[in-house]
Structure 1
């Protein structure tokens, strides 16, 4: 009977990722943390805190701390699923509350394409950030936190803390100005939320609706744009990386190539003798 499962730490304290590909049946058990993930292949039937449920490829899964569940594959195909396992203290931090005691997933299985997309982005961000046993760039860690925050918020609208004040357009402009003010020293989501008097989740969601990306993902785009301009102006790659908030030249090269499809060196050669206009941050 095929079975393969691995667990990796993320740079976020108390947040782990598991990848399981298994034809096994699991007996009744529980976890001490919150789980949120997605079925990539196959299907399974399981007991849950809401009764017996079935989950199929493309659907999302949750479990609460102490919630007894099991799992049996449906059909002859091994099922494959990915999960974020979030310790209670880490969940409380994501929601901006002092305790996770009042937080709860309200559906063990969700058929929600927007949630699936949010989880895919969070898993991609986790892969990019690496683990605590590796050298993880701080910007990658922040992007992971932001992506996970959006996925968690999408998955549990009924578990959210009391409705936070929604920042208006003027306040969101203040956030943009703060992000653009110092590329080398990015503010935290906590600082930005305090700046406009709202929760981190509300800030990330409202900023994304207005500007197309959540705050830290938007900042990364601005950093890459400023790096592109400075390379075209003749700056060296190491100086460009340092001035634009990247940890080193390698970090800049990796993200620049992923974003634009060509290396910083190729861009420098292509723009030799040409001017590139500075793009507005707003």
Structure 2
């Protein structure tokens, strides 16, 4: 990571919510996705990113909203770069917390953001306040009140939608391949094996998968492993052990992918989530 780029990350002990403040100049991170809901505010500069098959430019005061599994990247199109702060909200936590506001969720549905970028100033204020209270470790009652205020504003951006897994617009072969990758996350899966499991040739499988999910199968598998690596590292597991568990060649191999996606090393991420030194 370039010396002019920086990341300040913390994790709330009560909720597990991660808070991050960062600055990037030039290329920030490669296309990747998270298994959390992301809500953040651009503080300075222009934050350019691709998401939902469209390019967005977030400027100071705007709120950006990214769902679990949504592919996105990050770049600074101007010389001064961009600075932002953000919260990672666990899907189960968010669904539970908004249940008092929404009616019971329809069958096979999940919460979805109405848009990727919004100019709602009250949501921006609520997001920034929640970030500050969690990131600085304020009293529990202060943190909880700040999150309640954020949820009150956030519900205006939420609605229920059908889960991606049941989306009839996506081809069956893409669903089948994704299910296989999730089931064999820790294995050294080859394209021949995946194509055989889906009963199609490799080329048809690759075209269908990338059209459906925005990434070829091998890149999607890497993203699955990186998402799992975040969980294991946040629990205190060592980067070398995580690399072996998830099928990376070694710790360096995991580290290269991790930095490209998240902007910091596995060891740094583990330390900031757990305060444990790397061994």
Q: When the two structures are superposed, what TM-score results if normalisation uses the length of structure 2?
A: 0.50
Larger RCO (alpha carbons 8 Å, 6+ apart): 2
